[in-house]
């Protein structure tokens, strides 16, 4: 019973830290994915009197990743449809050039505004229209939720680290005498702390297993039926196999630091 | 014969050198000798023993154990040296969560001996200290005398070249004390170990030759 309690006292805070880390990874992926989606659907329309090449636009701002010229004939046809005697050729000749610009990443409102001003400052560019404002409110809400969640996960991890430290003190009290006796007889640090390492590694693997299982279940069983568009489309956002390696690495690192801390504190002080 | 212990103008102190316990002492112990160190309480007997197993560094002078300078020895070398020592404490210093058998073979576990060798040696030693029946019991289930016999068996388990004993019979009745002294005599006489015993009182019936040092007024003097 005591042994189970000893394990739980270390395993639970460790699990809380790993869940915090995994939530962090998931939110980070979801945010990046959402940003990518926004970036793809985001464009700037430029109306110019002169012909401009992609290089010209990139020179104006390096964030302009792609330039799609809009076919003037399509626009001319649209205009001609409402006019009885207008000739397509005349309209075509009178029309300026239209470009759809795509950015390399999703930029903030102020950055987009800077690009807009740069474009308008170019001789020949008559009009610049930015789209995507309807996404902005959703995106800002998303970023706000992310910050709130990161703060919560950070706080949870901090409390858990304190609990791990408390448990280390318990370990130190429980194992100090044994470790000191072993040291008197010449046992190296790794042998003296072998029991703690074994216990810690078992707990680390258990905590990793629980955290990984939880998110794997969410990915494979919950996401497909969740009704949440972003999760249904991109189930991999909830869990990637490399997360297991990251969580195991973090759990083992915590165990190593915790056990070495106990071993060093229990070491004989030479006078 | 080679010196196992050599001290020259040795000063030992606590509190970062402020409180001197032994000052300017010189003595040698040769291989295979049995040495008693006596003196009043607080005279520095246990302090000297601590210095011999490297828990206290000399403040001044030199102290060598098995040819190693205890003033300059590094952690690694000290660990190595300790695996060749047998140390016995008045308070036994047994690991209470381990069985008697596992306690006895602690030096073999540290040295990485196989389980087979550990078990064979444990059986032999427990028979030697008359604790065969108690092999699977835990230290706190034994009497003080029995616990000290476990401590002696542990000290002998790897045939150490030097046995250091701090008041090994201090808390024991006469019967248990005699058993302990017999074991220590055997270790010196038959196994050839050098034995240094710190004690209040030398046993009246002691069957092998020994040297006797006394610690007094911070000095170490040979009286026999």
Please check whether residues A248 and A168 belong to one and the same domain: yes
Closest-CA distance of chain B to residue A196, Å: 14
B1-77+161-171+194-224: which CATH topology?
Rossmann fold (3.40.50)
Q: What residues does each domain of chain B span?
A: 1-77+161-171+194-224, 85-159
User: With an 8 Å Cβ cutoff, are A271 and B97 in contact?
Assistant: no
Closest residue in A to B47 (Cα) is A271
pLDDT, tens digit (0-9, with 9 covering 90-100), for A78-115: 777 766 665 667 777 778 889 988 888 878 778 888 89
Could you give the 3-state DSSP secondary structure of residue A95?
Answer: coil
- Give percent of chain A with pLDDT exceeding 90: 21
pLDDT, tens digit (0-9, with 9 covering 90-100), for A119-155: 999 888 988 888 765 666 777 777 788 888 888 888 8
ipTM of the complex as predicted: 0.91
Please check whether residues A10 and A52 belong to one and the same domain: no
Lowest-pLDDT choice from A22-26, A211-215, A222-226, B20-24: A222-226
- Give percent of chain B with pLDDT exceeding 70: 100
User: With an 8 Å Cβ cutoff, are B56 and A270 in contact?
Assistant: yes
pLDDT for A132: 61
Higher pLDDT, A83 or A179: A179
User: With an 8 Å Cβ cutoff, are A188 and B79 in contact?
Assistant: yes
Q: Total structural domains in chain A?
A: 2
User: With an 8 Å Cβ cutoff, are B79 and A191 in contact?
Assistant: no
Q: Which of A131, A164, A189 is the last residue of a domain?
A: A131
Please check whether residues A251 and A167 belong to one and the same domain: yes
pLDDT class for B193, splitting at 50, 70, 90? very high
Q: Strand A64-70 to strand B60-65: parallel, antiparallel, or no bridges (unpaired)?
A: unpaired
For chain A, give the mean pLDDT: 85
Residues of B with CB under 8 A from a CB of A: 14, 53-57, 78-83, 85, 87, 93-98, 106-107, 109-110, 154
Q: Compute CA distances A53 → A64, A100, A103, whole Å.
A: 12, 12, 15
Please check whether residues A258 and A207 belong to one and the same domain: yes
Size of chain B in residues: 224
Reduced to 3 DSSP states, what percent helix, strand and coil does chain A have, rounded to the nearest 5?
70, 10, 20
Closest-CA distance of chain A to residue B84, Å: 8
Please check whether residues A123 and A184 belong to one and the same domain: no
pLDDT class for B142, splitting at 50, 70, 90? very high
Q: What is the CATH number of the domain that holds A115?
A: 3.30.70
The whole-number average pLDDT for the span B26-53 is 94
Structural domain range at position A90:
43-131
pLDDT for A228: 78
- First-to-final CA distance of chain A: 40
Please check whether residues A124 and A90 belong to one and the same domain: yes
């Amino acid at each position: 019973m005591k042994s189970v309690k000893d394990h739980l006292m270390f395993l639970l805070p460790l699990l809380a830290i790993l869940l915090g880390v995994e939530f962090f990874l998931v939110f980070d992926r979801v945010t990046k994915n959402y940003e990518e989606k926004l970036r793809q659907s985001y464009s700037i329309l430029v109306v110019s009197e002169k012909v401009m090449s992609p290089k010209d636009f990139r020179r104006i701002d390096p964030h302009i990743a792609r330039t799609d010229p809009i076919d003037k004939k399509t626009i001319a046809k649209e205009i001609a449809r409402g006019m009885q005697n207008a000739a397509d050729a005349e309209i075509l000749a009178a029309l300026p050039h239209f470009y759809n610009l795509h950015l390399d990443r999703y930029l903030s409102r102020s950055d987009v505004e800077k690009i807009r001003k740069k474009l308008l400052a170019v001789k020949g560019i008559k009009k610049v229209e930015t789209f995507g404002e309807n996404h902005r409110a959703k995106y800002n809400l998303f970023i706000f939720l992310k910050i709130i969640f990161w703060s919560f996960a950070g706080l949870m991890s901090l409390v858990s680290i304190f609990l791990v430290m408390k448990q280390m003190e318990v370990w130190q009290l429980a194992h100090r005498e044994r470790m000191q006796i072993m040291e008197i007889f010449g046992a190296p640090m790794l042998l003296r702390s072998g029991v703690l390492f074994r216990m810690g590694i078992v707990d680390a693997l258990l905590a990793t297993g629980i955290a990984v299982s939880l998110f794997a279940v969410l990915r494979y069983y919950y996401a497909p039926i969740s009704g949440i568009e972003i999760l249904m489309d991109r189930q991999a956002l909830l869990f990637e196999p490399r997360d297991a390696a990251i969580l195991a690495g973090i759990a083992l690192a915590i165990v190593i630091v915790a056990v070495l801390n106990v071993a060093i504190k229990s070491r004989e002080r030479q006078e | 014969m080679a010196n196992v212990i050599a001290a020259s103008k040795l000063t030992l102190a606590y509190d970062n050198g402020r409180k001197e316990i032994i000052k300017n002492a010189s003595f040698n112990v040769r291989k295979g000798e049995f040495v008693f160190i006596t003196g009043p309480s607080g005279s520095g007997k246990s302090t000297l023993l601590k210095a011999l197993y490297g828990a206290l560094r000399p403040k001044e002078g030199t102290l060598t154990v098995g040819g190693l300078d205890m003033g300059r020895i590094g952690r690694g070398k000290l660990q190595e040296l300790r695996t060749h020592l047998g140390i016995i404490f008045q308070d036994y210093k047994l690991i209470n969560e381990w069985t008697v058998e596992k306690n006895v073979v602690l030096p073999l576990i540290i040295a990485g001996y196989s389980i087979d060798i550990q078990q064979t040696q444990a059986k032999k030693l427990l028979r030697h200290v008359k604790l065969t029946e108690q092999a699977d019991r835990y230290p706190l289930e034994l009497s003080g005398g029995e616990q000290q016999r476990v401590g002696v068996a542990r000290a002998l388990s790897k045939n150490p070249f030097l046995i250091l004993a701090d008041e090994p019979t201090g808390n024991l009745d006469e019967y248990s004390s005699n058993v302990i002294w017999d074991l220590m005599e055997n270790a010196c006489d038959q196994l050839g170990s050098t034995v240094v015993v710190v004690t209040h009182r030398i046993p009246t019936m002691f069957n092998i030759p020994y040297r006797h040092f006394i610690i007094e007024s911070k000095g170490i003097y040979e009286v026999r």
